[in-house]
């Protein structure tokens, strides 16, 4: 058994495993074989390794490479506004409220791009509305009437900020 194989297999935690694997310089096929052996011997699973890997500074940087370009491509790909600004009226805001729900785990049921497509607008526009909606919910409280929420959503973020300040937040 090679030195690095032994070091990797003796790793106690997923974090240690990821560090040792990174430093080893072994081929990906070797690392895959060792990962399977290490998981069998320690009882950790693939999710534990992925969790540790996603928190490792090297892999964080690696994941972020090209993130700006990917975001720009996504925004261009899902810009359904055709370059025209969207004027949101009360009916559209009410429809937005009906479609903007989260599941039990707190994830939106509809993705930004799905709503952007539905309303013929852009992803930033949907994100802006979602931010405003969260601010309005804080301002008005959880038991606010839908009509009042729609009224407040029709206001700009600046107006909502002023209302927030008046309320003492």
Q: Which domain holds residue 81?
A: 70-167
What is the predicted pLDDT for the residue at 82?
A: 84
What is the predicted pLDDT for the residue at 129?
A: 94
Indicate if 84 and 127 belong to the same structural domain.
yes
pTM above 0.85, yes or no: no
Which residues of the chain fall short of a pLDDT of 50?
none
Indicate if 57 and 87 belong to the same structural domain.
no
Indicate if 143 and 105 belong to the same structural domain.
yes
99-126 residue pLDDT tens: 999 999 999 999 999 999 999 999 999 9
Q: Are 52 and 18 in contact (CB under 8 A)?
A: yes
Task: Estimate the crossing angle of helix 90-99 against helix 123-140, to 10 degrees.
Answer: 90
Distance of CA 51 to the CA centre of its chain: 16
Q: What is the mean pLDDT of the chain?
A: 90
Query: Angle at the Cα of 69 (from 67 to 72), degrees rounded to 5?
Result: 110
What is the predicted pLDDT for the residue at 165?
A: 63
Indicate if 9 and 56 belong to the same structural domain.
yes
Q: Are 55 and 17 in contact (CB under 8 A)?
A: no
45-61 residue pLDDT tens: 999 999 999 999 999 99
Q: Is the dihedral of CA 73, 77, 81, 86 positive or negative?
A: negative
What is the predicted pLDDT for the residue at 22?
A: 93
Q: How far apart are CA 145 and CA 156, in angstroms?
A: 19
Contacts of 129 (CB under 8 A, 6+ apart): 88, 93, 96, 100, 153
Q: Are 115 and 96 in contact (CB under 8 A)?
A: yes
Indicate if 24 and 46 belong to the same structural domain.
yes
Indicate if 78 and 157 belong to the same structural domain.
yes
């Amino acid at each position: 058994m090679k030195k690095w194989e032994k070091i990797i297999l003796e790793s106690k935690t997923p974090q240690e495993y990821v560090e040792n694997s990174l430093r080893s310089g072994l081929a990906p096929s070797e690392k895959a074989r060792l990962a399977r052996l290490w998981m069998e011997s320690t009882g950790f699973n693939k999710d534990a390794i992925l969790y540790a890997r996603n928190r490792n500074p090297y892999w964080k940087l690696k994941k972020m490479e090209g993130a700006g370009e990917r975001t720009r491509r996504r925004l261009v790909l899902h810009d359904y506004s055709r370059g025209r600004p969207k004027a949101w009226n009360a009916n559209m805001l009410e429809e937005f409220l009906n479609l903007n729900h989260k599941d039990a785990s707190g994830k939106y049921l509809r993705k930004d791009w799905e709503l952007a497509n539905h309303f013929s607008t852009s992803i930033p526009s949907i994100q802006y509305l979602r931010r405003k909606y969260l601010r309005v919910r804080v301002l008005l409280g959880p038991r606010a009437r839908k009509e009042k929420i729609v009224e407040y959503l029709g206001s700009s973020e600046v107006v909502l900020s002023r209302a927030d300040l008046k309320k003492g937040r």
